[in-house]
């Protein structure tokens, strides 16, 4: 095995440790829940409330994950860890923008296409395909095996929504799976890496008796 391959393997293991807190799963699921509400309300663009969970990812990583793991467990490179947080945030934002344009903006003009009668809801199927693509890319880049599961769930939810269910049902189904599995991963992370004990306050010096 070459040095480059060893480095890549070590980097992958460190990234897996970085994402072992489940924060990315929960935040992405929360974003999808808000997006589902936007779809139900038939708003033309995503609301500001939908984007808020993405902004919380950095805070969760700094205040929850890093104190438990410690920077040394992640290679001791603070700049690289910060870059991973930025990349995760940008990836979520790009994925949300793509899916919201697809479902709310109708950039592909699905309503104007001559679709077959056996496909009553093309938006649900389009969401499933787009969501599966985004999640598969994320699973390949990080790499996170559970994101392959999310990609499969997105595809299955899209197929169900395309033929049987409304579009928001596919969004809510994927969101529920991501939040549920993310909470499970976070609880396991908390048990494995308990919160470090805070140093006790120094005792005040005793006053000398006269």
Cβ-based neighbour number of residue 84 at 10 Å: 17
Tell whether 104 is covered by a domain.
yes
| pTM (two decimals) | 0.82
Tell whether 145 is covered by a domain.
yes
Q: Which stretch, 13-17, 49-53, 116-120, 189-193, has highest mean pLDDT?
A: 189-193
Distance between CA atoms of residues 120 and 107, nearest Å = 19
Number of domains observed in the structure of the chain: 1
User: What's the domain range around 154?
Assistant: 3-192
Q: What is the torsional sign of CA 164, 167, 173, 178?
A: positive
Contacts of residue 75, defined as CB under 8 A and 6 or more positions apart, other chains included, come to 14, 81
The pLDDT of residue 204: 59
Q: Are 56 and 210 in contact (CB under 8 A)?
A: no
Q: Residue 4 pLDDT more than 50? A: no
Tell whether 18 is covered by a domain.
yes
Distance between CA atoms of residues 73 and 66, nearest Å = 9
pLDDT tens, 106-122? Answer: 665 655 555 555 566 77
Tell whether 199 is covered by a domain.
no
Distance between CA atoms of residues 156 and 153, nearest Å = 5
Tell whether 40 is covered by a domain.
yes
Tell whether 201 is covered by a domain.
no
Contacts of residue 37, defined as CB under 8 A and 6 or more positions apart, other chains included, come to 50, 168
């Amino acid at each position: 095995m070459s040095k480059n391959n060893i480095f890549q393997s070590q980097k992958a293991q460190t990234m897996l440790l970085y994402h072992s807190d489940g924060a990315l799963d929960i935040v992405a699921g929360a974003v999808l829940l808000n997006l589902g509400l936007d779809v139900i309300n038939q708003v033309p663009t995503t609301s500001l409330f939908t984007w808020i969970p993405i902004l919380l990812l950095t805070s969760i990583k700094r205040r929850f994950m890093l104190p438990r793991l410690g920077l040394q467990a992640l290679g001791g490179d603070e700049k690289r860890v910060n870059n991973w947080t930025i990349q995760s945030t940008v990836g979520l934002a790009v994925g949300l923008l793509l899916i919201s344009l697809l479902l709310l903006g109708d950039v592909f003009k699905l309503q104007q296409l001559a679709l077959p009668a056996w496909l009553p809801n093309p938006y649900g199927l389009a969401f499933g395909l787009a969501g599966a693509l985004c999640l598969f890319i994320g699973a390949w880049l990080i790499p996170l095996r559970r994101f392959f599961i999310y990609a499969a769930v997105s595809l299955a939810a899209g197929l169900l929504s395309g033929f049987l269910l409304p579009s928001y049902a596919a969004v809510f189904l994927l969101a529920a799976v991501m939040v549920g599995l993310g909470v499970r991963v976070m609880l396991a992370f908390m048990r494995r890496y308990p919160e470090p004990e805070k140093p006790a306050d120094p005792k005040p010096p005793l006053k000398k008796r006269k």
